[in-house]
Amino acid sequence: MADEIILLDFLPSIFGMRIRVALAEKGLKYEYREQDLWNKSPLLLEMNPVHKKIPVLIHNGKPICESTIIVQYIDEVWKDKSPLLPADPYERAQARFWADYIDKKLYDLGKKITLTKGEEQDTRKREFLEFLKLLEGELGDKPFFGGENFGFVDVSLVAFSSRFYAYESFGNFSIEAECPKLIAWTKRCMERESVSSSLLDPQKVHDFVAGMRRRYGVE
């Protein structure tokens, strides 16, 4: 019996992109359903009544919510191909630590750059770059955060790179100038079909963020 996989998602969503990347890494076929976040569908509300958010993975009719939890689910169910978490419990703990830290910090740091101006924005840019430098330190000389293999932390982080052009444009700064190793890592990730086919084009992300700035009255 074939698996039925449906992904409720929103193209510019960093969290949704994680799921697209994970599904592609595992070579899984699924039905993508774009959601209107300002007019939520009955299916979305039924499948995620607690948070009413995307992404939601529906596997044989059963919903799984929260992107990091979904990625772990995918990794555990389809464990024989392209494992995302390492086998060793200590290595797994390190991967979970960094994925959790990225979740706690990076989305808000980036969002604040796009929604502020002047001195406040300068502070946000500094904090953002500091965080990226911390991540660069963790990456070290490894090709991926997962070591030789593209892994859990890479999946958690890579989707943010689709938003870098927007951050740079609205923040008027260059991420590559401060964090060349991290940008080199994003380019390495983009060489993988699973990543290049899952991330939204940075120009489209930029235009989406521009729309959000207008909506929040930042422009």
Rule CB under 8 A: which residues touch other proteins? 50, 59, 62, 64-66, 69-70, 72-73, 76-77, 89-90, 92-93, 96-97, 100-101, 134
Beta carbon nearer to other proteins, 79 or 142: 79
Beta carbon nearer to other proteins, 103 or 176: 103
CB of 165 to other proteins, least distance (A): 28
CB of 60 to other proteins, least distance (A): 9
Cα–Cα dist 104/98, whole Å: 10
- 47 in Cβ contact with 58 (< 8 Å): yes
CB of 89 to other proteins, least distance (A): 4
CB of 191 to other proteins, least distance (A): 30
In this structure, what token pair is assigned to residue 32?
């993508």
Cα–Cα dist 167/181, whole Å: 18
Beta carbon nearer to other proteins, 140 or 217: 140
Beta carbon nearer to other proteins, 10 or 101: 101
Cα–Cα dist 111/208, whole Å: 12
Cα–Cα dist 152/176, whole Å: 23
Q: Identify the CA nearest to 152 among candidates 96, 103, 79, 70.
A: 96
